């Protein structure tokens, strides 16, 4: 889910567009123009800041600049690389639905795109955020396997355990950093789809950047409507994959016993 620094008080009420029997979504000229603006701006922003795995996936997807791609075009690439597929969903879905989709290697994509009024900030994850922010990383085997594993965890988890698992997703899939090429580089979709957070996460001296530790991740509170004050940094994408070999529910229990860290935001 994309987040930015401050909320827009005049939010649009979004509804996902239908997918016809041929798997096609009909986008308007204005919506295609918004996609063009967003992808052109963000392609410039991520250069030198996105991780190698993301850029390789982006090249595989070969997303169009002048119009919004169809999910079936993206799915051909994902199926060939890691066996994943994108699935059209309403603007918001339940946690049960979300976890069950990931457990089946299906990534939920809301089929709407933000309006001009929300061009810089949107609480709901729109088509641009999901496709540009996440789909390129789903071509990477390590990232794809972790996401699949996470979905299966969520299906089994209790409500209380899901609260801790949500932090694991937030600080990896959405706001994860990688120590690569001698600098901080991005693999989290919440950063990659936001120009402000892309610069802030990689270049600003304000946020904390600490080594990835799953227990610490699950003990760390976050807010969805601010630039993140803290990021967890992987040494490689393989390190994220190695999480799938750990007893995550045991780590959740340990995080519960230790309790939450004090928030470092207002």
pLDDT at 210: 98
Instruction: Give me the catalytic one of 53, 193, 194, 197.
Output: 193
Q: Are 103 and 155 within 8 A, CB to CB?
A: yes
Instruction: Give me the catalytic one of 134, 161, 194, 197.
Output: 134
At 173-188, the pLDDT tens digits run 999 999 999 999 999 9
* 197 annotated as belonging to a binding site for a ligand: no
Q: Are 229 and 262 within 8 A, CB to CB?
A: no
Question: Catalytic annotation on 174?
Answer: yes
pLDDT at 3: 35
Q: Are 122 and 2 within 8 A, CB to CB?
A: yes
* 134 annotated as belonging to a binding site for a ligand: yes
Instruction: Give me the catalytic one of 16, 31, 129, 197.
Output: 129
Question: 153: alpha, beta or left, given left = phi > 0 and alpha = psi -120 to 50?
Answer: alpha
pLDDT at 8: 38
| Extended strands (E) in 36-94 | 85-89
**How far, in Å, are 29, 47, 74, 221 from residue 62 at the CA level?**
21, 15, 9, 36
In this structure, what is the dihedral angle of CA atoms 232, 119, 130, 233, given to the nearest 10 degrees? -10
Distance CA 260, CA 183 (A): 29
Residues in the chain where the model's pLDDT stays below 50 = 1-11
Closest alpha carbon to 142 in 249, 239, 251: 239
176 in helix, strand or coil?
A: coil
Closest alpha carbon to 82 in 142, 29, 37, 133: 142
pLDDT at 206: 97
pLDDT at 52: 98
Question: Catalytic annotation on 193?
Answer: yes
Distance CA 246, CA 240 (A): 11
Domains of the chain by residue range? 27-258
At 215-235, the pLDDT tens digits run 999 999 999 999 999 999 999
pLDDT at 121: 84
Question: Catalytic annotation on 129?
Answer: yes
Instruction: Give me the catalytic one of 148, 174, 194, 197.
Output: 174
Q: Are 12 and 31 within 8 A, CB to CB?
A: no
pLDDT at 1: 36
0.85 exceeded by pTM: yes
Half-sphere exposure of 44 (CA within 13 A, CB side): 7
pLDDT at 92: 86
Tokens matching residue 184: 């901080």
* Residue 154, Cβ density class (10 Å: 0-12 exposed, 13-18 middle, ≥19 buried): buried
Question: Catalytic annotation on 12?
Answer: no
């Amino acid at each position: 889910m994309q987040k930015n620094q401050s909320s827009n008080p005049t939010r649009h009420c979004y509804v996902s567009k239908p997918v016809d029997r041929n798997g096609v979504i009909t986008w308007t000229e204005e919506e295609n123009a918004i996609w063009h603006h967003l992808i052109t701006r963000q392609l410039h922003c991520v250069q030198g800041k996105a991780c190698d795995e993301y850029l390789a996936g982006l090249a595989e997807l070969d997303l169009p600049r002048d119009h919004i791609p169809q999910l079936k075009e993206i799915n051909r690439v994902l199926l060939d690389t890691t066996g994943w597929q994108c699935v059209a969903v309403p603007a918001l879905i339940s946690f049960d639905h979300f976890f069950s989709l990931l457990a089946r290697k299906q990534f939920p994509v809301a089929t709407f795109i933000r309006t001009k009024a929300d061009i810089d900030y949107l609480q709901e994850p729109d088509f641009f955020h999901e496709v540009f922010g996440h789909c390129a990383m789903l071509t990477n085997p390590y990232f794809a396997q972790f996401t699949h594993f996470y979905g299966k965890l969520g299906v089994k988890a209790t409500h209380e355990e899901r609260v801790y698992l949500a932090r694991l997703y937030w600080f990896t899939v959405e706001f994860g950093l990688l120590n690569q090429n001698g600098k901080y580089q991005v693999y989290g979709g919440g950063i990659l789809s936001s120009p402000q957070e892309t610069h802030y996460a990689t270049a600003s001296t304000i946020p904390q950047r600490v080594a990835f530790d799953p227990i610490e991740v699950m003990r760390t509170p976050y807010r969805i409507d601010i630039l993140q004050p803290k990021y967890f940094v992987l040494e490689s994408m393989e390190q994220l994959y190695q999480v799938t070999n750990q007893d995550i529910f045991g780590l959740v229990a340990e995080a519960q016993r230790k309790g939450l860290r004090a928030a470092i935001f207002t």
